[in-house]
Structures are given as structure tokens and as C-alpha cells.
A and B are shown apart, each in its own frame.
Chain A
């Protein structure tokens, strides 16, 4: 999935893109997990389903990543692959996602960084040349 990590002083950002919103959100999910661990070592053995809505695209983006942080902390869930579906209707931005992954194991998974929260700092989400792009900064 196309994503890269962007510099943000003491914190870190994820830039994800794709031909459409589904691809960009899917890449954002996978970019997020690359912060936590080496995602190539995570087996897609368990599914996590999410369904979120928000009044703005920016808020939806922040909610999505904060949900992943919450699941990583509470359920120790690490994702290997993310399939997200975005829609907009009746003034609501909606995202449903299925993430395949597994529970963290200190024997198997390298520890990287655990973000505290997604922020609105320089957040961008929406159509961009060539498709869609999302940029989010995470507080470490």
C-alpha cells in the first residue's frame, strides 16, 4: 500500500495516497501499523471490523486512527492489511474497515513507537492530483 512517514519535530506523520478514498484510507491504516511494528511479521489471522462516522472528513480521519490506537492498546491488536470503504451521504462522512492482523506477542513482534493520539495538526484529507491523499500527524 502506498504510504510514507513524514517528519514532524518530536512526533511523526503518515502520508497515504491512492487512486480513490478507499485506497487512501486503507493505506493510512497500514501506514499506522508500520509505526508500531514491522508489519511484515504480523500474520493476518484475526479480523477487526470498524464502522465510524463524523461530520467532517478531518474528524473522520482522526477518529479512525484514534480507534486503531485504542484497539492496539486495549486488545494489543496489530494490523497487517487494511481494507477501508469510505462514503459520504446525508452530511455524514462514513468509514467501514476490515483489518486483518493478530495480537501482539513480544516473542514475535518488534516494538517500535506507540502513538498517543492522532491530531489535527496540518491534517489534509481529500482529492489530490492522481487520486486521493491523507496526511496526519500523530502525537508520540
Chain B
């Protein structure tokens, strides 16, 4: 497939429509030459397959952090017409509304470094993570219904945050059209005891330092000040969301057969947007998305409480303030211009982040001039970034990357980490790490990922968003 790629400019590659039979639109890959060299053939095949689905608009988009997923690539964006297009659970992923939350603090990083180990230990104790972890929050059936319908608001109403937090979440921390009744018994069982837990794999809570300001005006608007500590959280909808996706795949495979949709890959299972199967999935997916926002709200609150206690600071001295919360595994109905006319589309972002430009009506008033904050986590040892959406609506449906993106498989990372003490190596470079699964930490080592700095430079170079601030990790708690 690589031989069919052509470079259209410094930041973009194109796989033309028709590169495989049934491919109705091109695939556009955002990559400089360095990222192109690391591009996996499987990513191209998955993007080409996505471009075969009915009703796809403009192009199958592949962000610079892309790696191979199931069906759709991770780091992919695909938008479909509501009348002629499809909804695909594989275009959202198993961890529905996996996302990132960034909280600023008023505490100088230097102050935090004095008690870094205590802070890391307090966070590790406060945030249940990994195999066998248990939440201190046990949801009743009524609670779970309220979480599914209210999202982050449910947690705020229980004292886990401030009302102002809600407008600093994408979509206000809640999607309309959530259907508690669309959740299976098993999804509800899995969700009941997991709210306020981090999960496993690449999920984390990090204390970071705002190390560099690249756009002072936007950084000021986002409340980011050089030298202060910040807290970043990466988690999603836990078992409830995973179950929604698992439940839907078989139903969507049957639906695709029923509606005569040819699937190049079973994980692209889908149904027409207007079908009852799609409606059921979307109702359940929105409920799971709302659960994820409540989960990150609860995690942020628990992290703040733990940090204040470890540093012996009052909440006022800690000055914790939500900067923004973004979803990077989601499908949403949004209005965009495609083919010269405005229409409502089903935008799938799988490992991709919404990045709306200044002036967009969905942004809170305080960010409307700067654009949407976009939070791009790095790896355990290297920087994360805050970007601002600039105006990629016409090209990427207002979307950018979601992280650094894997460079090595878990197996390869594990082999390369053998015999090394990753915790000690990170400590020597100034990062304190605590992990529930210490034995598998090598799979998450920095070299296993691309440098997020290189990824966001492509995004900025392509004019999709601009870099506002760089944050360096100080303490990492992994699942």
C-alpha cells in the first residue's frame, strides 16, 4: 500500500480513492518524513478499508500519532452522512469516551518537588488502578441511571468538583440522547463498582510542570502559568463502556449483513445511521460517554484531595482548577461543510481529539477567543502538550491527534526493557513513577511511543491547531 502514497505537502500524504476496490474517498495521512518512515502498513490498510464504508465524506483521516487498531486505525477520523452513512462501534473503540482531563494548580512545581514521593504515594493510594482494584464509590441502580444521564454533573452534584467545571468539559461533560435502558445487564454490573477507578494499560494520573509557554495569550486564557504544577488524567468509561462496545459488535455484524453492507474487516461492523441498530448503539454509547465524564470528574476530585493532603495545603492554596476535559474515542453528530454544503454528519473520532477553532459556539465563553484547549499527553518520560484549535473544520471536521502514539508493540517494548529498571531510569531523569502493574511497566516505557513533540509539530505545521504550552512529567501513577 505504501507505494500508492503520494506526498501532497510537507505535512500530508494521500492514498488516492480507488487504491483498493470500493474505496470511495482518499485517505489523508498527517505525517512529516520522520513519521512517514515509522508508518505501519496496517494503518494504511485500515484507513483504506474505512474509506470503503458507505456515506463517508471527504476522506478517511489519519493523525500523526496513528497506529494500527481494529477495523479503524487508532488516530483516525471518519465522518458519515446521516442519511447515507453508517455508525460503527469500531470507529469509537472499546473504551468509549476515553479522554484526558487537565487541571491547573496554584502550586509552584519546585514546592511540589520537595514532597514529590509523598505526592506520588498519595495519588497512588487515592486512585484505584489495575487488576483487582476496587472503587470506594458503589453506585446504586438509581445512581447509575443518573450517571448515565447526567455525566460529569452527577459527580459535581455530589461535591466532586465545582459547577464551573462542567462548561470546561467537551459537550459540557454530557451527551444528549443517552439511553440507560439501552445498557445491557452486564454493562450495568460492570459499571456499578468502577466509577472513580483508573483502569489498566496506558491510563494514568500525572503531576506535571508547566515547563514552557509557546502562546502566552492562549496560555493565560487557559489559566496555565509557567513553573506551576498541573494534574493530567487519562481514563475512560471502564467496564461499562467496554461492554457496550462488545455487546454491539455482534448486533452490528448482523445489521451489516441485513443492510447489504460489505465489510472489508469484521471490526468495521456498522449499521446505517437511521437504523434501529444504530439508534440502540448510540443511546448506549452516549450513556457510556456520560459515565466516562463522571469517572474523570471523580478521579480529578480524588487526585486533588490526595495532593492537598500530601502537600499539607488547603484547597485554596492548592488552587485546583479544571482547564479542560476532552474525549478522544467518540461518535458525535456535528454540523460541517462537506462537498460544498453544510450538513449534519456522524463524526467518529477514534484516538483523535476535537479541536474547534476560536468563535465556535460550542466553546465556553472564556475560551471562545482562544479556541478549544486540546490536551495531548506524552509518554511517562517526555512532555505533554496543550494546543488550541485553530480552524481545521473544513479539513478534519475540527479534529487533531490524541497523544504520542505507539512506536513499538507491547511485546517489542517488553523485550527491549528486559533487564532494565524503568522506574529507576525515570527517577534519574526526574520522574517519579508508581504503577499497579510494575511488572508490565516496560511496555509503557518512553521509547515505546513516538515523541509527542514531533506529533504536535505536524498538527501545527498542517494548520490544524497551535501549540500553547509544554508540560513535563514529575510524578506518574499508572494502571
Chain A residues close to B by CB (< 8 Å): 5-12, 36-38, 59, 62, 66, 69-70, 72-74, 76, 104-106, 109-114, 116-121, 123, 137, 139-140
Q: A110-B439, A140-B200 are in contact. List 8 more A-B contacts (CB 8 A).
A: A7-B409, A7-B410, A8-B410, A12-B410, A117-B243, A119-B267, A120-B249, A139-B70
Please measure, in the bound complex, the distance between the C-alpha atom of A6 and the C-alpha atom of B412, giving whole angstroms.
10
- Whether A113 and B267, one on each chain, are in contact in the complex, defined by CB atoms closer than 8 angstroms, is no
Complex CA distance for A72 and B409, rounded to whole angstroms? 25
**Closest B residue by C-beta to A67:** B186
Q: Give Cα A104 to B246, complex, Å.
A: 24
A106–B68 CB distance below 8 A: no
User: Which of A5, A66, A106, A121 interacts with B71 by CB under 8 Å?
Assistant: A121
Q: Does B67 contact A (CB under 8 A)?
A: yes
B189 within 8 A of A: yes
Judge whether B201 is part of the interface by a CB distance below 8 angstroms: yes
Chain B proximity of A50: nearest CB distance (Å)? 14
Neighbouring B residues of A36 by C-beta, 8 Å? 131
CB-nearest residue of chain A to B192: A74
Contacts of A116 in B (CB 8 A): 94-95, 201, 239, 242
User: Which chain A residue has the least Cβ–Cβ distance from B202?
Assistant: A10
Q: How many A-B residue pairs have CB under 8 A?
A: 117
Cα(A74)–Cα(B95), bound, Å: 18
What residue in chain A is nearest B265 (Cβ atoms)?
A: A121
**Interface core residue of B40, B69, B70, B436 (most chain A CB under 10 Å):** B70
The yes or no answer to B406 lying at the interface (CB within 8 A) is: yes
Contact partner, A74, options B42, B67, B189, Cβ 8 Å: B189
Q: List 16 contacting pairs A-B, 8 Å CB cutoff, sorted by A.
A: A9-B74, A10-B67, A10-B406, A12-B411, A70-B239, A72-B131, A74-B193, A110-B438, A111-B437, A114-B131, A114-B199, A114-B200, A114-B201, A116-B242, A117-B243, A117-B245
The residues of A that contact B194 with a CB separation of less than 8 Å are 73
Check if A120 sits within 8 Å of B190, measured CB to CB. no
Whether A73 pairs with B239 at a CB distance below 8 angstroms is yes
Chain B contacts of A12 at CB under 8 A? Answer: 410-411
The answer, yes or no, to whether B461 is at the interface (CB within 8 Å) is no
The minimal Cβ–Cβ distance linking B196 to chain A, given in whole angstroms, is 15
Q: Are B412 and A112 in contact (CB under 8 A)?
A: no
**B266: which A residues are within 8 A, CB to CB?**
120-121, 123
B131 touches A111 (CB 8 A): yes
Partner of B411, one of A7, A37, A113: A7
Q: In the complex, what residues of A have CB within 8 A of residue B253's CB?
A: 120
CB < 8 Å neighbour of B201 from A69, A74, A121, A140: A140
B440 on interface, CB distance cutoff 8 Å: yes
A74 to B93, alpha carbons, bound, how many Å?
22
In the assembled complex, how far is the CB of residue A30 from the closest CB belonging to chain B, in whole angstroms?
16
Judged by a CB distance under 8 angstroms, whether B250 is at the interface is yes
Contact A120/B70 with A70-B190, A112-B439, A139-B242 known, Cβ cut-off 8 Å: yes
Indicate if the CB atoms of B246 and A66 lie closer than 8 Å.
Answer: yes
From A11, A110, A139, contact of B410 by CB (8 A): A11
Flag whether B34 is at the interface (Cβ < 8 A).
Answer: no
Q: Indicate whether A112 sits within 8 Å of B410 (C-beta atoms), given known contacts A10-B202, A117-B94, A139-B94.
A: no
Q: How far is the CB of B289 from chain A (nearest CB, A)?
A: 15
- Give the distance in Å from the alpha carbon of A89 to the alpha carbon of B255 in the complex: 25
Q: Which B residues touch A9, using CB under 8 A? A: 40, 42, 67-69, 74, 406, 409-410
Q: Would B242 and A113 count as touching, CB distance under 8 A?
A: no
User: In this complex, which of A7, A38, A72 has the most chain B Cβ atoms within 10 angstroms of its Cβ?
Assistant: A7
Cα-based distance from A8 to B74 in the complex (angstroms): 12
Q: Once the chains are docked, how many angstroms separate the CA of A74 from the CA of B192? A: 10
CA distance A36 to B132 in the complex (A): 9
Contacting A at CB under 8 A, from B402-453, are 406, 409-412, 436-440
Taken together as a complex, chains A and B put the C-alpha atoms of A139 and B238 apart, in Å, by 12
- Give residues 250-280 of B contacting A (CB, 8 Å): 250, 253, 265-267
* Neighbouring A residues of B202 by C-beta, 8 Å: 10, 140
Q: Are B437 and A113 in contact (CB under 8 A)?
A: yes
CB atoms of B132 and A111 under 8 A apart: yes
Q: How far is the CA of A69 from the CA of B199 in the complex (A)?
A: 13
B130 at the interface (CB under 8 A from A): yes
Q: Smallest distance from the beta carbon of B425 to chain A beta carbons, Å?
A: 21
CB of A112 within 8 A of CB of B74, answer no
- A8 adjacent to B409 (CB under 8 Å): yes
Q: A70-B190, A113-B201 are in contact. Are A6 and B131 (CB under 8 A)?
A: no
A113-B131 contact, Cβ under 8 Å, with A11-B410, A139-B94 = yes
Q: Could you tell me if B437 and A112 are in contact, using CB atoms closer than 8 angstroms?
A: yes
How far is it, in angstroms, between the C-alpha of A5 and the C-alpha of B439 when the chains are bound? 16
Of the candidates A7, A62, A104, A117, which one forms a contact with B132 in the assembled complex, judged by CB atoms under 8 Å apart? A104
